[in-house]
Amino acid sequence: MGTPANVVVLPKDTATLRIESLHLPDPGPTQVIVKQYASGICHSQLHQMHRPRPQPVILGHESTGVVLKTGSAVSHVQEGDTVLVTWVPRDAGAANAPPVTAQLEVSDGIAISENVFTWADHTICDQQYVVKVDPNIKKDVTAIIGCAVMTGAGAVINTAKVKAGQSVVIFGVGGVGLSAVVGAKVAGANPIIAVDLDDRKLSFAKTFGATHVINASEVDPVTAIHEMTTQSDQFTILKSPVSGADYAFDCIGIRSTMEQIVPACRSGHFGAAPGGTAVLVGVPSTEVTLNAIDVLLNEKQFIGSIGGSCAPDRDFEKFLKWHNEGTLDLEKMVTARYRLEDINAATQALEAGQIQGRAILEFD
């Protein structure tokens, strides 16, 4: 017998979301049914909502819940386990087959997901997308570990492997950017420069560990970054003082920020050290043009970080430890809470830039 569920559905021909009451099928061999406590609301879902699509879509990819049912081949979790749901396979290296992507039969066809869906009070997903955790964790705010924290903090500690004393600049300090700030603080980076268009968000970033802030609506952020990081005892191939950040993270993914992170990076110390690294973290919405001369002469790098280069089985325990120790203040990072029936208001607030940190959906 199926499991009753209330699921947010994105129709194929409109961006207005609807809630559909249906029955989830019994889990396949590698699948689990999860009753959810809370789910994060991520910017990447806005990209899905505005893209053309041939069929309905089910959304959301980070949550906290409890396992209700398991398939016959499930070995990682059992009924009653508290889990974090994510869109990244928990241990891809150990998997002997691709995980099953969730899809549902809804009123206007087959609705597909990008691996999982968590904008629902119950979900069905492959066991590779659930990570067993301590049942005593906070059941609401930990929902954002499965994407926001993993993506931002992971980009710093896994992709870039930032070391103590290195300089970091983070463009965009929503939930992902704030998590990157925390990752940089844990790594011992200095300075940690936050760039945004909103003074309120910049002040908020300081409470998570940003040492300097730049409002990009008031000054040219690249110029400001170089002024903050000039090293008068080191020189470029053009005999100018070395300046710029060791690592620049774009947690937004729009053209302007993607084209700012490379010039914001440290120029190479000619004959002694290469330049800095620009890390694309936010989902890009456009193509980007890079200054190849800058990349060449200053030996800079432009790299991508998907899901913070995380292995959830390895990293989620670490992020929960940060939370327990007070290093990662998830209670403060979650700044808005919505009920399932308010999902359209939630996505509209996110698109309008009204969410200071991270928003979540809470379920009964």
Question: What CATH number did the domain enclosing 336 receive?
Answer: 3.90.180.10
Q: In this structure, are 287 and 354 located in the same domain?
A: no
Domain extent at residue 167: 149-307
CATH number of the domain that residue 293 is part of: 3.40.50.720
Report the domain count for the chain. 2
- The answer to whether the predicted template modeling score (pTM) of the entire model surpasses 0.85 is yes
Output the pLDDT for position 114. Answer: 93
Q: In this structure, are 45 and 157 located in the same domain?
A: no
pLDDT at 270 over 80: yes
pLDDT at 202 over 90: yes
Query: Has residue 278 been placed in a domain?
Result: yes
- Of 53, 253, 75, residue with least CA distance to 152: 253
Q: Which residues contact 100 (CB under 8 A, 6 or more apart)?
A: 28, 30, 31, 125, 126
Q: In this structure, are 198 and 334 located in the same domain?
A: no
Amino acid present at 217: S
Q: In this structure, are 78 and 30 located in the same domain?
A: yes
Query: Has residue 199 been placed in a domain?
Result: yes
Query: Has residue 15 been placed in a domain?
Result: yes
Query: Has residue 316 been placed in a domain?
Result: no
Q: In this structure, are 127 and 163 located in the same domain?
A: no
Q: In this structure, are 295 and 336 located in the same domain?
A: no
Q: In this structure, are 10 and 129 located in the same domain?
A: yes
Q: In this structure, are 41 and 167 located in the same domain?
A: no
Q: In this structure, are 89 and 197 located in the same domain?
A: no
Q: In this structure, are 224 and 78 located in the same domain?
A: no
pLDDT at 93 over 90: no
Q: In this structure, are 217 and 128 located in the same domain?
A: no
Backbone angles phi, psi at 321, to 5 degrees: -65, -45
Q: What are the tens digits of pLDDT across the range 309-337?
A: 999 999 999 999 999 999 999 999 999 99
- Measured over the CA atoms of residue 52, residue 54, residue 59 and residue 62, the dihedral's sign is negative
Output the pLDDT for position 94. Answer: 81
Query: Given pLDDT bands bounded at 50, 70 and 90, which one contains residue 97?
Result: confident
Q: What are the tens digits of pLDDT across the range 111-151?
A: 999 999 999 999 999 999 999 999 999 999 999 999 999 99
Three-class HEC string of the chain: CCEEEEEEEECCCCCCCEEEEEEECCCCCCEEEEEEEEEEECHHHHHHHHCCCCCCEECCCCEEEEEEEECCCCCCCCCCCEEEECCCCCCHHHCCCCCCCCEEEECCEEEECECECCCECEEEEEHHHEEECCCCCCCCHHHHHHCHHHHHHHHHHHHHCCCCCCCEEEECCCHHHHHHHHHHHHHCCCCEEEEECCHHHHHHHHCCCCCEEEECCCCCHHHHHHHHCCEEEEECCCCCEECCECEEEECCCCHHHHHHHHHHECCCECCCECCCEEEECCCCCCCCCCCHHHHHHCCCEEEECCHHHCCHHHHHHHHHHHHHHCCCCHHHHEEEEEEHHHHHHHHHHHHCCCCCCEEEEECC
Query: Has residue 213 been placed in a domain?
Result: yes
Output the pLDDT for position 328. Answer: 98
Query: Has residue 244 been placed in a domain?
Result: yes
Decide: 49 and 13 in contact? Cβ < 8 Å.
no
Output the pLDDT for position 80. Answer: 98
Output the pLDDT for position 17. Answer: 98
Q: In this structure, are 84 and 213 located in the same domain?
A: no
Query: Has residue 315 been placed in a domain?
Result: no
